[in-house]
Amino acid sequence: MEHGYTNSTVGDGALVVKCYQGPEAATRLGTESRYLRRLRGRLPVPRVHQVTPTSLTTRFVPGAHGQDLLDEGRASEVLTECGRVLARIHRLGIVHGDYGPQNLLFDPATFEATAILDWEWAHPGAPVEDLAWCEWIVRMHHPEHAALLDRFFTAYAATVPPWSERQAAMLSRCRALLDFCARWEPGGGGEKLWRERLDLTASWAA
């Protein structure tokens, strides 16, 4: 499917099959299926249909993709909802681990989240990890909307750590992804890309 960045996802309008690729694929599959089951009824997440040793099938959830809505000029609505939804996740004591508009679907009329996707990196952790990563996604991939990040932080309506802590969290995640790519394909394109992103992130000022 469009907007899949790590694994291979195919959907037919009823079901979506995600086949886990790369290092620790089985662990990530286990994490995602466990969190989806645990969160069902507490947060908008897809229903698990089937789990095999290498794939997870979920029910297709209709909704407009966050990145498409950003491109369509809906950054204010999207980032506000990203903040509200993240507060709900953190109230449960969970860190999503890959949080941002790239992993949310929205009702195109109300901009309410219809699904929070991609729980393979979820873990108990510090809220700054998700706050920083959503900010990083917007600054890196949608810089024209970075000025609207205050909507995200305001809607989160809880303490937002200072820039130094958020940047440290961004750098730590970039390093983890660099390491992930290096284990997947040593000396490959992913490694080069994450090294560049790491350097760029280190050069950012608040």
- 85-104 residues in contact with ligand ADP (CB under 6 A) are 103
Stretch of 7-15, 122-130, 136-144, 183-191 lying at the interface with ligand ADP (CB under 6 A): 7-15
Binding mask 102-141 for ligand ADP (x = CB under 6 A): -x-----------x-xx-----------------------
Binding mask 25-44 for Mg ion (x = CB under 5 A): --------------------
CB 126 within 8 A of CB 165: no
* 118 is an interface residue for Mg ion by CB under 5 A: yes
Closer to Mg ion by CB, 5 or 189: give it: 5
* 57 is an interface residue for ligand ADP by CB under 6 A: no
Helix (H, G, I), strand (E, B) or coil at 64: strand
d(CA 57, CA 50): 5
For residue 34, which of 97, 81, 106, 128 has the smallest C-alpha distance? 97
Residue 60 gets the label, from left (phi > 0), alpha (psi -120 to 50) or beta, of beta
Helix (H, G, I), strand (E, B) or coil at 31: helix
Residue nearest to Mg ion (CB): 118
State how far the alpha carbon of 32 is from the alpha carbons of 26, 68, 77, in Å.
10, 24, 27
Closer to ligand ADP by CB, 16 or 78: give it: 16
Of 12, 13, 14, 18, which lies in the binding site for ligand ADP, with binding defined by CB under 6 A? Answer: 18
CB 166 within 8 A of CB 135: yes
Both structure tokens of 91: 């109230």
For residue 175, which of 132, 123, 131 has the smallest C-alpha distance? 132
Stretch of 66-74, 83-91, 99-107, 175-183 lying at the interface with Mg ion (CB under 5 A): 99-107
CB atoms within 10 A of CB 90: 19
* 5 is an interface residue for ligand ADP by CB under 6 A: yes
Q: Which residues bind Mg ion (CB under 5 A)?
A: 103, 118
Q: Which residues contact ligand ADP by CB under 6 A?
A: 1-7, 9, 11, 16, 18, 46, 58, 60-61, 65, 103, 115, 117-118
